[in-house]
Amino acid sequence: MVRVRFAPSPTGSLHLGGALTAVVNRRFADERGGSLVLRIDDTDPERVLPGAEAGILADLAWLGIPWDEGPVRQSERGAVYRAAAEALLAAGAASREADGAVRATAGGRPTLVRADGRATYSLASVVDDLELGVTHVIRGKDLQPTTPAQEAIARALGREPPEFLHHGLLVGQDGRKLSKRARSSSVAGLRERGLPAEAVRAYLEGLGLPRGDVRYDEARLRRHAVEALGALPAGELAARAGVEARFGPALRGAHDLVEARALALQIAAPPDPVDVGSPETLLRFRELRGAAAEQLDAEAAKAIVRELKAVGGDLRALRLALTGARRGPELWAVLVALPRAEALRRAGA
C-alpha cells in the first residue's frame, strides 16, 4: 500500500514550489490507490512562524488538495525521537557529544538531538517516515543531499528506508529557487492577485513530476486563469469576485478575479453625466427598460438590445450613457448588471 507524505515546515507561507511537492504527492497516491499524510516539520521553534501552519492548511484546502491523515506535528513527538536516538546510541550509529547533543557517526555526521534534548529534522524525518509507514518520499531536489544520511539512519534503526524520488524545483527568472518570502509566488499571494485555484492547480499538474528545474511561467499560469474563469457559470464567477450575481455576465473575459471585481465596481459606480447625443435611442431604451422586469435576465436584456438595433438605435451612445465608457462588456451584460431605476437614471430619465 503506497503511502506518501507532504512535510512542509511552518516557517513561512506555502509557496508555489511547496505546492508543487504537495500536488505531486497527492497525484502519486491517487494513481496508486494510496494515501497522503500531512506532516508539519516544526522541530525548530525558533523558525516556526505563528499562523504559518494554519495558513498552509488553508492554502492546501484552497488548492483542493486533501490529505488522508494528519497533520502530524513533529513538535508533539519528542518521546518517539528520543527513543530512536537511544537505539542509535546503543547500536553505535550515533555518539553523544560533551554538551549532550547526539550526532550520527556516518553520513556527514548530522546532529540528531540538540544539546537541549530536542530532536532535529534529520532524526525526526527518518523516524516519522518509518513510523508512519511512508513507502515513497517525494520531495524537491533541494533535499536530495539529505537522503544518504536519512537512508543510513533508517538502516541503523534496523529498517529498510522508503524509496526516495526528487523532483526538479520551480525557479525564478534568475534560475534560483522561488523564495518563500517572495509574496508573488506564494499561494496566498496568487490568491490575493485574483488567480483562481483551478488555474494554480492546473499549472502545477501540467508540470508533472519534473526531473529538472522548471522556470516559473506566469504567462502560462495566467492562460490557465482565463480558461478556468471562462469555464465558471456567470453566478459563480460573480461570487468568486465577491460581487452580486447580476454582475456575472459582465465579468466574462476578465483575466483574473481582481480585474473582475474592479470591472463590477466600475459598472456599479454611476458615470459622470455627459451629453451623449442620440436622444431618440435613449428615449426608446427608457421605454423598453421601463416596461421590463426590475432585474433582467440574459434573454430579456438581449431582447432589448435586439429591438434597439432593429430601429437603428445608437448603441454606442447608449453604452456611453450607461457606463461612461466607449468600450467594455457586452451591452446586454451591462443591462443585466444595472437595476432598472439605475439604468433609467443613467439613460436620462
Q: Which residues bind ligand GLU (CB under 6 A)?
A: 7-9, 41, 125, 139, 143
Q: What is the smallest separation between the CB atom of 191 and ligand GLU, expressed in angstroms? A: 20
252 backbone dihedrals φ, ψ, rounded to 5°: -55, 135
Residue 27 or 139: which CB sits closer to ligand GLU?
A: 139
CB of 41 to ligand GLU, least distance (A): 3
Q: Which is nearer to ligand GLU, 127 or 207 (CB)?
A: 127
* C-alpha distances in Å from residue 94, one per residue of 99, 112, 113, 153, 162: 14, 8, 10, 9, 21
Q: Which residues pair with 164 in a beta bridge?
A: 137
Residue tagged 505531486 (cell numbers) = 24
Beta carbon of residue 48, minimum distance to ligand GLU (angstroms, whole number): 11
- Decide if 344 contacts 289 (C-beta within 8 A): yes
In the sheet with 102-104, reading across from the earlier edge strand, the strands are 94-96, 102-104, 111-113
The least distance separating ligand GLU from the CB of residue 140, rounded to whole angstroms, comes to: 7
In the complex with ligand GLU, the residue whose CB is nearer, 41 or 256, is 41
Residue 129 CB, shortest distance to ligand GLU, in Å, is 8
Q: What phi-psi label fits residue 328: left (phi over 0), alpha (psi between -120 and 50 degrees) or beta?
A: left
Single-letter code of the amino acid located at 220: R
For the CB of residue 232, give the shortest distance to ligand GLU in the complex, in Å: 33
Q: Which is nearer to ligand GLU, 125 or 278 (CB)?
A: 125
Residue 50 CB burial class (10 angstroms; 0-12, 13-18, ≥19): exposed
Q: Alpha-carbon distance 236 to 196, whole Å?
A: 12
The smaller minimum CB distance to ligand GLU, of residues 145 and 279, is found at 145
Residues 6+ apart with CB under 8 A from 135: 1, 2, 3, 4, 34, 162, 163
The string of DSSP letters for 237-262 reads: HHHHHTS-GGGGGGGTT-SSHHHHHH
Q: Which is nearer to ligand GLU, 110 or 313 (CB)?
A: 110
Least distance CB 91 / ligand GLU (angstroms): 23
Query: Shortest approach of ligand GLU to residue 53 CB, angstroms?
Result: 12
Residue placing its CB nearer to ligand GLU in the complex, 156 or 347: 156
Nearer to ligand GLU, 24 or 234 (CB): 24
Grid coordinates 516539520 are at which residue? 41
Nearer to ligand GLU by Cβ, of 151 and 330: the residue is 151
The residue sitting closest to ligand GLU, measured at its beta carbon, is: 41
Strand bridging mode 94-96 / 102-104? antiparallel
Minimum Å gap between C-beta 105 and ligand GLU is 21
Residue pair 200/189 in contact by the 8 Å Cβ criterion: no
321 CB-contact burial (10 Å; exposed 0-12 / middle 13-18 / buried 19+): buried
